[in-house]
Amino acid sequence: MLVSAKEMLTKAKAGKYAVGQFNINNLEWTKAILQTAQELASPVILGVSEGAGKYMCGFKTVVGMVNGMLDGLGITVDVALHLDHGTYEGALKCIEAGFSSVMFDGSHYPIAENVEKTKTLVKLCAEKGISLEAEVGSIGGEEDGVVGMGECADPEECKMIADLGVTMLAAGIGNIHGKYPENWPGLSFETLAAVSEKVGDLPLVLHGGTGIPADMIKKAISLGVSKINVNTECQLAFQAATRAYIEAGKDLQGKGYDPRKLLAPGTEAIKETVKEKMELFGSVGKNS
Ligand code: 13P
């Protein structure tokens, strides 16, 4: 059964480790992540962007697939199914469809509007026992070929949102989605420490987990980060392994064209990436 992310993140914050959110795109992705979490006795959060939800034929299909897999694969570790960077409307749809966790990304709204919309969702989520992530200070990333540097959140605004009763808070600390550019100055630990001090026990979320050096990840966890989002790194691992399979001509040998064979190396590569991250984040064995 899917669970809210509240308990797993409260435990992570107290135990000074982080739970990984790995974004899913299809059946192979979901299966690879769930099997790895089970094998390593780690709690896990499956992230679904609105685009990926659409690609998988809607949030109801995603809920059906994930629930089916929990049963079919005999998954007993804690799994939360979470909307990633949701719009207000998207969050409502996911709550309705059976997600156990949602993110409302109101970081691009003026703070008063972010507060208002987040407040309404806090109430709805509380009624259903669903965890809610909010965001202050937008996360950078590539748009039209230009990589925008991540913003640094205002700690006072973080406190305003934290006080509404959200489950976890994503605060921009110079992090970026996708690959980090050569001239990236690194995470702003000064901002993270200031936000952490303002929000107390509230679990903090680090987006843009791909390509952040291990020492920065560990420092971020020590300063209150309890959830780390990873997406691009699984995509790159899948792409490299699939390319190698085809370049080696394996799709042309025997029944190498069978999708179950063709997609297998990429799926294994996702498992390897998820394992590495769970080890780095310290969540291995926390669900036994
Ligand atoms: P990356 O794609 O950089 O790993 O970021 C993932 C993320 O933050 C999803 O919200």
Tell how strand 19-23 and strand 146-148 pair up. Answer: unpaired
| Global confidence as pTM | 0.97
User: What CATH code is carried by the domain that includes residue 234?
Assistant: 3.20.20.70
Distance CA 235, CA 23 (A): 9
Q: Is residue 288 part of a domain?
A: no
Q: Is residue 181 part of a domain?
A: yes
pLDDT at position 190: 97
pLDDT at position 149: 74
Over residues 126-181, the pLDDT tens digits come to: 999 999 999 998 887 766 666 667 889 999 999 999 999 999 999 999 999 999 99
**CB distance 77 to 37 below 8 Å:** yes
pLDDT at position 220: 98
Bridge partners, residue 228, by sequence: 20, 206
Q: What total of structural domains would you count in the chain? A: 1
pLDDT at position 57: 98
Q: Is residue 177 part of a domain?
A: yes
pLDDT at position 123: 97
pLDDT at position 143: 60
Active-site residue identified among 78, 84, 105, 154: 84
pLDDT at position 144: 60
- CA–centroid distance, residue 245 to ligand 1 (Å): 26
Q: Is residue 275 part of a domain?
A: yes
Q: Is residue 130 part of a domain?
A: yes
pLDDT at position 138: 80
- CA–centroid distance, residue 77 to ligand 1 (Å): 23
Q: Is residue 1 part of a domain?
A: no
Q: What b/e sequence results for 71-108 when a residue is b if at least 16 CB atoms lie within 10 Å of its CB, and e otherwise?
A: eeeebebbbbbbbbbbebebbbbbbebbbbbbbbbbbe
pLDDT at position 285: 98
Structural domain that includes position 51: 6-281
Best residue among 230, 233, 239 to mutate for probing ligand 1's pocket (most ligand atoms within 8 Å of CB) is 230
Write the DSSP symbol of residue 178.
S
pLDDT at position 252: 98
Q: Which protein residues are within 6 Å of ligand 1, measured from CB?
A: 23, 47, 84-85, 177-178, 207-210, 229-233
- CA–centroid distance, residue 232 to ligand 1 (Å): 6
Q: Is residue 138 part of a domain?
A: yes
Active site residue 84: yes
Burial of 170 (0-12, 13-18, 19+ CB in 10 A): buried
Which residues are CB-contacts of 143 (< 8 A; sequence separation ≥ 6)? none
pLDDT at position 136: 92
Atom of ligand 1 nearest to the CA of 235: 2
Atom of ligand 1 nearest to the CA of 230: 4
Atom of ligand 1 nearest to the CA of 84: 10
pLDDT at position 139: 81
Distance CA 151, CA 148 (A): 9
Q: Is residue 287 part of a domain?
A: no
- From the list 21, 17, 49, the residue with the least C-alpha distance to 33 is 21
Side chain identity at 83, as an amino acid letter? L
Low-confidence ranges of the chain (pLDDT < 50): none
The protein residue with its alpha carbon nearest to ligand 1, atom 5, reads 208
Please calculate the CA angle 57-266-50 and round it to the nearest 5 degrees.
Answer: 25
